[in-house]
Amino acid sequence: MEATSRDSAAPLLAGLPAMLPALEAAYKDFHAHPELSMREHRTAAIAAKHLQDSGYDVTTGVGETGVVGLLRNGDGPTVMLRADMDALPIREATGLDYASKATAEDADGNSVPVAHACGHDMHVAWLMGVTSLFAGARDAWRGTLLAVFQPGEETAQGARAMIGDGLLTRFPKPEVVLGQHVMVGPAGMVAGSAGPITSAADSLQIRLFGRGAHGSMPQAAVDPVVMAASLVLRLQTIVSREIAATDAAVVTVGVLQAGSKENVIPDEAVIKLNVRTFDEGVRKHVLDAIARIANAEAAASGAPRPPEITPLDRYPLNVNDKQASERVAEALRRHFPADSVRHTGPAPASEDFGCFGTEWDVPSVFWFVGGTDPATYARAKAEGRVNDLPVNHSPLFAPVIHPTLQTGVEAMAIGALAWLGK
């Protein structure tokens, strides 16, 4: 089937203006009531009821809290659309009148603030809008729509949990898997590219062992704080001195924990770090270097035992299929103004979205939708301050509702229509 044009999409999108107020209300509700990964019970229930009310065959509890909606509309391909639902243990600082004040118990039993600081609330609203459009305009398309509301993206659990719970055998195999993410960029803009689009990510914990003593007697200790500090600094040399300038990698230490009293040298220290790469060879080199340096620092410090290195989570490299990407881009270019559809390089952010296409062995396409007020973005760009704008995972991150909401619904609908259009 040919990629959709603005005219051919008109019947499908005709109902969108009337549903925008309800979608905005739903988005604000999700934003004010975020839920941690794999605990998205309220969000999942709302998504399931929406699908049921729209005439979809609905299956809940797929991979714990995942929701799958199936709408068959005659002969034609099956297209999977995915939205993630989970929020982050972050205290929101946007000051919005619908800002989250929620708290929840994390996996360690601690009470933590919770906020939709990555835009997954917008993703859920987008997919709700798209599923309504397809349900309400069946004369405009043919085939099967497979809508997946996924849990646990932030912890790299959700996609694998749904796959492990029989997603691939319980539902029709799609011809293509499509997804999108709100990011910093002028609202109203969509951007993507063929090839790698989000990085592989590995999170690790390194536990360093020392020998505790009184703070006044360092000669009696093996200080794990100094060991950890040296390790943090030395790890930065992996990218600067071991990775070629033509390759890309990021090594970030996000946690350094040791001791509880200023005059006590503790027995151990813990650091947690995150690695982003776009090439499997580079990834292996970085991970091997981390282990080599950690063991060497421990030996140089006279540690009583080698460090413990524990993997925490892993995201696969997300690669957009070339032909499917071109098909989506062509459809988007035909629908949106020319300057609203842009090419972008791969982002160092990571996603488990790619698991679906990989496990099903079908093409997948993932793209970005801008969520920053266009005037604010233009001013920041003119002043060289784009890096000062609140990014995903910031306590200040919150996309502007308009036109982000409408743009995302249109983009996902247009992408699906590139396969399902009559």
Q: Which phi and psi (to 5°) does residue 277 adopt?
A: -145, 165
CB 410 within 8 A of CB 133: no
Hey, what are 31's tokens?
A: 């934003």
Q: What is the band of 422 on the pLDDT scale with cuts at 50, 70, 90?
A: confident
Q: Residues 273-328: pLDDT tens digits?
A: 999 999 999 999 999 999 999 999 999 999 999 999 999 999 999 999 999 999 99
Model confidence at 5: pLDDT above 90? no
Annotated binding site for Mn(2+): 118, 120, 154, 181
Q: What is the band of 223 on the pLDDT scale with cuts at 50, 70, 90?
A: very high
Report the pLDDT value the prediction gives residue 1, as an integer from 0 to 100: 37
Residue 314 CA to residue 359 CA, distance in Å, equals: 16
Model confidence at 2: pLDDT above 50? no
Report the pLDDT value the prediction gives residue 89, as an integer from 0 to 100: 97
Annotated binding site: 118, 120, 154, 181
Cα distances from 281 to residues 35, 247, 273, 277, in angstroms, run 36, 10, 19, 9
CATH of region 6-197+317-420, choose from 3.40.630.10, 2.40.30.10, 3.40.50.2020, 2.60.40.1180: 3.40.630.10
Residue 1 CA to residue 299 CA, distance in Å, equals: 63
Report the pLDDT value the prediction gives residue 6, as an integer from 0 to 100: 54
Pairing of strands 200-209, 268-277: antiparallel
Q: Residues 333-372: pLDDT tens digits?
A: 999 998 999 999 999 899 999 999 999 999 999 999 999 9
Q: What is the band of 7 on the pLDDT scale with cuts at 50, 70, 90?
A: low
SS3 call for 65: coil
CATH 3.30.70.360 fits 200-314, yes or no: yes
> Smallest Cα–Cα separation from 145: which of 58, 84, 63, 86?
58
Q: Provide the residue ranges of all domains of the chain, joining segments of one domain with +.
A: 6-197+317-420, 200-314
Helix axes 280-300, 224-235, angle to 10 degrees: 150
Q: Which phi and psi (to 5°) does residue 270 adopt?
A: -130, 130
**Percent of the chain with pLDDT strictly greater than 90:** 96
Model confidence at 29: pLDDT above 60? yes
Which stretch of 123-127, 171-175, 313-317 has the lowest confidence by average pLDDT? Answer: 313-317
Average pLDDT, the chain: 96
Model confidence at 107: pLDDT above 80? yes
Segment holding 370, helix H or strand E: strand 364-372
Three-class HEC string of 317-347: CEEECHHHHHHHHHHHHHHCCHHHEEECCCE
Residue 132 CA to residue 413 CA, distance in Å, equals: 10
Segment 184-197 mean pLDDT: 97
